[in-house]
A and B are shown apart, each in its own frame.
Chain A
Amino acid sequence: GDSVTQMEGPVTLSEEAFLTINCTYTATGYPSLFWYVQYPGEGLQLLLKATKADDKGSNKGFEATYRKETTSFHLEKGSVQVSDSAVYFCALIGVAGGTSYGKLTFGQGTILTVHP
């Protein structure tokens, strides 16, 4: 079945440092890939997405490129801020999900803490 593997956290960085959170996946066909973020006390929010190979999703300074050849969708940000402290989830919707867009397969989440 489909699966998503994220780098284990927690990740602790200083403000303005470069961020990479690795995400690799296993799925048949061409899944859609997502990064969700959960700030303390809030629900998951869609951060960015990519629906086909070589697509780059971007939002709020974060970027991730859909790499079919390496089955990866690593999240990057050039300069993190304290306000980026949150839990980040990589996820996919596989081909088998069809039009059932709720059938997200998630990674285990990575806690990011950014210090001033």
Chain B
Amino acid sequence: GAVVSQHPSRVICKSGTSVKIECRSLDFQATTMFWYRQFPKKSLMLMATSNEGSKATYEQGVEKDKFLINHASLTLSTLTVTSAHPEDSSFYICSARYLTGGLAGANVLTFGAGSRLTVL
């Protein structure tokens, strides 16, 4: 149980186009999902917290107009990179909080396999 599916796993696009990445919780409901990005040889950095039915909370320095996050249902969050440029090329990973109950359960995060974006 507690599987998160992320799609696409790889995407190549031209500069100026927009790219949408989907993150789905397959067998549980996720009221909160998280989006991370990783540059080569760098740490995973939290970009934003996606809350079902409300606006995402972005980390400092992340452009909310460039990285649009929509969490329209309890099983789906999407990240859209708008007007992508080569510097947006990165590895994007989503995760969802899986509540198994009790305080210990609040610490369980399930991750997707990640999406590698290359902007030409």
Interface residues of A (CB under 8 A from B): 4, 8, 32, 36, 38, 41-46, 49, 89, 91, 93, 99-109
Whether the pair A43, B107 counts as a contact (CB closer than 8 A) is no
Assuming the A-B contacts A100-B49, A101-B97, A102-B32, are A43 and B108 also in contact, with contact meaning beta carbons closer than 8 angstroms in the complex?
Answer: no
Assuming the A-B contacts A100-B49, A103-B46, are A43 and B114 also in contact, with contact meaning beta carbons closer than 8 angstroms in the complex?
Answer: yes
Interface footprint category on B: 20 to 34
Query: How far apart are the CA atoms of A28 and B63 in the complex, in Å?
Result: 27
| Distance from B64 Cβ to chain A, minimum over Cβ atoms (Å) | 17
Interchain residue pairs with CB less than 8 A apart (13): A36-B111, A38-B114, A41-B9, A41-B113, A42-B113, A43-B4, A43-B95, A99-B106, A102-B97, A107-B43, A108-B43, A109-B43, A109-B44
